[in-house]
Amino acid sequence: MKTRKNIIYSLVIITSLMPYLYVFYDFGKIKFSIDHYVGFYPIFGFIACLLLIIIAKLIGVFLKREDTFYDE
């Protein structure tokens, strides 16, 4: 449990430092139409992952079985 706490703390620190990376970001050179919004990538990544987990959970409700399901 201690490792988990350490990882979560360091993750909080890393994520809070992430916005400063925009110092290097050149908005004049964007390639894609959507990514000139500040925070597009972090928000998109976060929401996409939450959605994937929710979808996986929903599918799991229907399709999960004991792992001895095929053994008989």
Partner 1 sequence: MMSNLFLHPALPLLVGSTLIFIVKTKVNIISIVSLIISFIFLLLLPIGSNTDFILESMNLKIISSTKLSFLFCLVFLILGIVGKIFSIYQKSISEKSLVLLYIASAVGVIFSGDFIVLYIFWEMMAISSTLVIWSSSSPSAMKSGQRYLLVHLIGGLILLVGILGMYSETQNLAIRILQLDEWYTWFVLLGLLLNAGAPPFSQWVADSYPEGSYSSTVFLSAYTTKTAVFVLMSTFAGTKLLIMVGIYMIMYGIIYALLENDIRRILSYSIVNQVGFMIVGIGIGSELALNGTASHAFTHIIYKGLLLMSAGSVIFMTGKRKCTDVGGLYKTMPLTATCGIIGAFAISAFPLTSGFISKSMILEASYYANFEIVWLFLLIGSAGVFLHAGIKFPWFVFFHRDKKIDTSDPPVFMKTAMVTLSFLCIFLGIFPSHLYSILPFDNSYIPYTANHVVSQLHLLVFSGLAFFMSLKYLERTLTITLDIDWIYRNKLIFLDNLYEQINKTVSNLGRIIWSSFSKLRLEYIENVLLNQATITVMMTIILFIFATILLLNV
Residue 48 in the binding site for partner 1 (CB under 8 A): yes
Contact 67, 61 (CB under 8 A): no
| 13-42 binders of partner 1 (CB under 8 A) | 14-15, 18, 21-22, 24-26, 29-35, 41-42
Question: Can you tell me the distance from the alpha carbon of 5 to that of 1, in angstroms, rounded to the nearest whole number?
Answer: 6
Question: Can you tell me the distance from the alpha carbon of 12 to that of 27, in angstroms, rounded to the nearest whole number?
Answer: 26
The structure tokens listed for 65 are 């079985």
Binding stretches for partner 1 (CB under 8 A): 1, 3-4, 7-8, 11, 14-15, 18, 21-22, 24-26, 29-35, 41-46, 48-53, 55-57, 59-60, 63-67, 69-70, 72
